[in-house]
RNA sequence: GGAGGGGUGGGAGAGUGGCUAAAUCCAGCAGACUGUAAAUCUGCCCGCUUCGGCGUACGGUGGUUCGAAUCCACCCCCCUCCA
């Protein structure tokens, strides 16, 4: 069984390139991890996800515990086998659902009680139960249960929330020691909203507890790109250089490029798949909405240079038609394409960091995409 | 020829005196989506507009009324049944 490890191979400014080893394989960083909440990267076959260059996908504790149930997945051989993804899997703890399902949950020191959004049944998620579920699923990388408050939030509320997440971090680590199999890893999550003192306190105490990787949570929750980068600017320089740094839930291509420039190694985001299902595609020439009337007669593919079948073998006119006709294939192809674009972006950054040309990469990205990278 | 029913905004289809530039759905045109309650949601959708309004509008014409898509008369067109 391969032990969890992180090897830093190259740096260029604050940007880093490396490799994470897990029991189910290696992850080249900076990495983008497609989100497969309910045991599927929505509308994309696992082999296609893999072919885009993804080394790892996400699963979700809250969603999988409700349906089909963690014990059931375990008895069927674990999540890797269940979803036909033999490569690394990272699971979120359910912490995000503390925010996104805030109308359906109650927060206490012990944990979070949810009313299921599916059938209304009552469920309790404690730091211990969340880790137990993630171990039952067999996740290679697991997340502590945390509270992910939206920004803006008052300083005292943010401090209180962050300290609750810290106490949960300790309990999560203790439970992980009880349930985990060799090679699995549990990450701590830095909170503190957009307050420098709180982010520093959160980080120092997490590092004192000691984790094999650290996440930056509670960003991309309403604060805007500039503010998010400002928080990273006073957070990442103090993070353990020997450990992977994971910016949770981010983001748009320009967010990711800017965060890599600030020393982040791992990302996940629903955008390439969700927006893909809704008609938005990212290409090297920027973002577009395939539903727009201007594509009705466009014979060009989305981005032939990517080499992904979805990006190369179908005209924008055809994709436009599929969306206007409400055909399933439209969302499938656009999700697939977006994942390919994201992975191409990550591969480009890894190569640039290794070659010492990351600044040139950023300049080219800015010019081609028309995006602002602060 | 006789009897009955009906003509509303791109389509379907509510509305039967003022609360109606006219419900709702579809189509159309845009936008949003960031550790997924999302194949979802939002806005626009007669013309002009300084976004407060102004103009025109419910088959046609005329009328009743303070006021008509709504009531009356005639005309045009469509559907069903009977001869």
Query: In angstroms, how far is B52 C1' from A193 CA?
Result: 42
Catalytic one of A12, A55, A265, A268: A268
Q: Which residues pair with A7 in a beta bridge?
A: A19
Q: What is the pLDDT of residue A315?
A: 98
Catalytic residue at A197? no
Q: What is the pLDDT of residue A374?
A: 67
- Is there a contact between A261 and A14 (Cβ–Cβ < 8 Å)? yes
Q: What is the C-alpha R_g of chain A?
A: 20
Catalytic one of A12, A55, A92, A303: A92
Q: What is the pLDDT of residue A371?
A: 84
The pairing of strands A15-22 and A112-115 is unpaired
Helix (H) or strand (E) holding A59: strand A57-60
Residue A189 contacts by C-beta under 8 Å, 6 or more apart in sequence?
A: A95, A143, A144, A146, A165, A169, A206, A214, A215, A216, A217, A248
Q: What is the pLDDT of residue A2?
A: 82
Nucleotide nearest to A280 in CA–C1' terms: B33
Q: What is the pLDDT of residue A316?
A: 98
Q: What is the pLDDT of residue A359?
A: 97
Q: What is the pLDDT of residue A1?
A: 67
State the Cα–Cα distance between residues A248 and A106, nearest whole angstrom: 23
User: pLDDT truncated to tens, each residue of chain A (374 aa)?
Assistant: 688 999 999 999 999 999 999 999 999 999 999 999 999 999 999 999 999 999 999 999 999 999 999 999 999 999 999 999 999 999 999 999 989 998 899 999 999 999 999 998 999 999 999 999 999 999 999 999 999 999 999 999 999 999 999 999 999 999 999 999 999 999 999 999 999 999 999 999 999 999 999 999 999 998 999 999 999 999 999 999 999 999 999 999 999 999 999 999 999 999 999 999 999 999 999 999 999 999 999 999 999 999 999 999 999 999 999 999 999 999 999 999 999 999 999 999 999 999 999 999 999 999 998 887 76
DSSP assignment letter at A131 = H
Which nucleotides on chain B have any atom < 7 A from a protein Cβ? 27-41
Q: What is the pLDDT of residue A367?
A: 93
A58-78 as b/e: b if 16+ CB within 10 A: bbbbbbbbbeeebeebbeeeb
Query: In angstroms, how far is B78 C1' from A204 CA?
Result: 81
Catalytic residue at A265? no
For A257, the token pair is: 């490029």
């Amino acid at each position: 069984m391969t032990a969890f490890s992180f090897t830093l191979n190259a740096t260029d400014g604050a940007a880093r390139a490396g490799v994470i080893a897990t029991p189910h394989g290696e992850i080249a960083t900076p990495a983008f991890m497609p989100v497969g909440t309910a045991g599927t990267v929505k509308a994309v076959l696992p082999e296609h996800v893999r072919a885009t260059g993804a080394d790892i996908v996400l699963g979700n504790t809250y969603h999988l515990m409700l349906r089909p149930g963690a014990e059931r997945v375990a008895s069927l051989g674990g999540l890797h086998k269940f979803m036909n993804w033999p490569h690394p899997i990272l699971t979120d703890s359910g912490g995000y659902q503390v925010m996104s399902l805030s109308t359906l949950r109650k927060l206490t020191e012990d944990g979070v009680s949810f009313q299921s959004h599916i059938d209304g049944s009552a469920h309790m998620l404690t730091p211990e139960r969340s880790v137990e579920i993630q171990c039952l699923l067999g996740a290679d990388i697991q997340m502590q249960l945390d509270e992910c408050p939206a920004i803006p939030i008052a300083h005292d509320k943010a401090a209180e929330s962050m300290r609750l997440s810290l106490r949960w971090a300790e309990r999560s680590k203790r439970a992980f020691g009880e349930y985990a199999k060799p090679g699995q890893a549990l990450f701590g999550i830095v909170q503190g909203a957009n307050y420098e003192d709180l982010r520093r306190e959160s980080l120092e105490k997490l590092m004192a507890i000691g984790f094999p990787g650290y996440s930056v949570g509670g960003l991309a929750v309403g604060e805007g790109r500039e503010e998010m980068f400002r928080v990273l600017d006073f957070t990442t320089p103090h993070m353990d250089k020997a450990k992977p740094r994971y910016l949770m839930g981010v983001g748009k291509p320009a967010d990711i490029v800017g965060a890599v420039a600030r020393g982040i190694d791992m990302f996940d985001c629903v955008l390439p798949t969700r927006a893909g299902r809704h008609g938005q595609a990212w290409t090297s020439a920027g973002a577009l909405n395939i539903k727009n009337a201007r594509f009705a007669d466009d014979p060009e593919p989305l981005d032939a240079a990517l080499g992904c079948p979805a990006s190369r073998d179908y005209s924008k006119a055809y994709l436009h038609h599929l969306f206007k006709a409400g055909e399933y294939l439209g969302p499938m192809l656009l999700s697939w394409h977006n994942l390919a674009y994201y992975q191409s972006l990550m591969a480009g950054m890894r190569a640039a960091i290794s070659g010492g040309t990351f600044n040139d990469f950023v300049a080219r990205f800015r010019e081609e995409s028309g995006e602002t990278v602060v």
